[in-house]
Amino acid sequence: MQSLKVIISGGGTGGHIFPAIAIADAVKRKVPNAEILFVGAKGKMEMERVPQAGYKIEGLWISGIQRSLTLKNLAFPLKLISSMAKARSIVRMFKPDVAVGVGGYASGPLLRVASTRKIPSLIQEQNSFPGITNRLLAAKVSKVCVAYEGMDRWFSKDKIVMTGNPVREQVVQLEGKKPEACTFFGLKSDKPTLLVVGGSLGARTINHSIKKNLQLFKDAGYQLIWQTGKLYGETAYEAVREVDYEGIKTFKFIDRMDLAYAMADVVVSRAGAMSVSEICLAEKPAILIPSPNVAEDHQTKNARALADKGAAILLADKDAEESLGKEIKSLLNDKEKQSTLSRNAGKMAHRNAAEKIADEVLKLAKKN
């Protein structure tokens, strides 16, 4: 293909941004001279992360509707009008061959404009229960790339393509990396190691539960890599300092997740779609604690899809503070259980998802 222009829109959290970047990288591998423009929401983390990955981004003044009654919702109509106008301007100036939406606030206005201009569009739905933006866009787009079975409950069967979720390729390339991981984290290779991740913004219940059990790690000689999120970083640091155990390392954000997975024997995580996909691809035994504060409780549905096939342990958020310590100790001491969970998680992994989605993008561009 001699030239290709692609707009990728969406964001708000790492769970939307990193898949979008993975898709962009896959498109560039197939068409090195492709022009790719991201469209995100002003003030959200994509405005920082996307340029760091080497791509241009435009921001829309947009946010979601709050589920509770709040004055913030009064600004939503104005934000929507502003974002639609900005999206029209972006599409008119950039003239994309294909538009891709990955979910999140910004993808709604951009794909709505693209579809009215007859630009082929594709959405990537990461969860087992689709977000409202993608449900609203489904009738307008040409293809829907999904990661779970049974998505024809929400999307037209003839539009669905099973691709899996696109993860950053280097994140799940773990072979031979444990020595580097030991050096990077300052940990020992022969001690059981737990990785705790609560998503890019952190997870309150998981953080409180881990803090409550810090003495357990010291007494048992376990090692802990604890990604706290930016809001809990200082609290976690002070708690670890009080325990005074060099086997616990805290981070607000981990840039080298490949080394974190390489080091980990067991993972404790929320059940966001991208976290679940990474765990399956990395073939790591995991305790999943779904966030109760997400639309339609979709994280519980994500976690249930694994737990029902013996590919993860599902622990409800309301039970975490009381039971997480016992679950961690039980799993870190049970190599056979770890092997079973790891093997079953690997069976659920969808490999080369970004490449498959990039192929669909190119097919749409050729039709256009």
Binding site feature residues for UDP-N-acetyl-alpha-D-glucosamine: 13-15, 127, 168, 200, 254, 299
Local structure of 333: helix, strand or coil: coil
Strand pairing report for 266-269 and 286-288: parallel
Closest by Cα among 194, 227, 218 to 338: 194
Rounded to the nearest 10 degrees, the angle between the axes of helix 14-30 and helix 353-367 is 60
d(CA 66, CA 71): 9
For residue 315, CA distances in Å to 28, 158, 304, 307, 319 come to 39, 36, 10, 10, 7
Task: Name the phi and psi angles at 344, rounded to 5.
Answer: -70, -35
- List helix spans (H) across 283-352: 298-307, 317-332, 335-347
Which residues contact residue 182 at a Cβ distance below 8 angstroms, ignoring those fewer than 6 apart? Answer: 188, 189, 263
Interior angle at CA 122, CA 120 and CA 126, nearest 5? 175
- Residue 195 · residue 261 · CB < 8 Å: yes
Q: CA end-to-end span of the chain, whole Å?
A: 12
Q: Going edge to edge, which strands form the sheet with 248-251?
A: 248-251, 223-227, 193-197, 266-269, 286-288, 313-314
Question: Which residues are documented as binding site?
Answer: 13-15, 127, 168, 200, 254, 299
- Residue 125 · residue 144 · CB < 8 Å: yes
d(CA 169, CA 25): 9
Rounded to the nearest 10 degrees, the angle between the axes of helix 14-30 and helix 273-282 is 60
Number of other CB atoms surrounding residue 61 within 10 Å:
18
Burial class (CB in 10 A: 0-12, 13-18, 19+), 76: middle
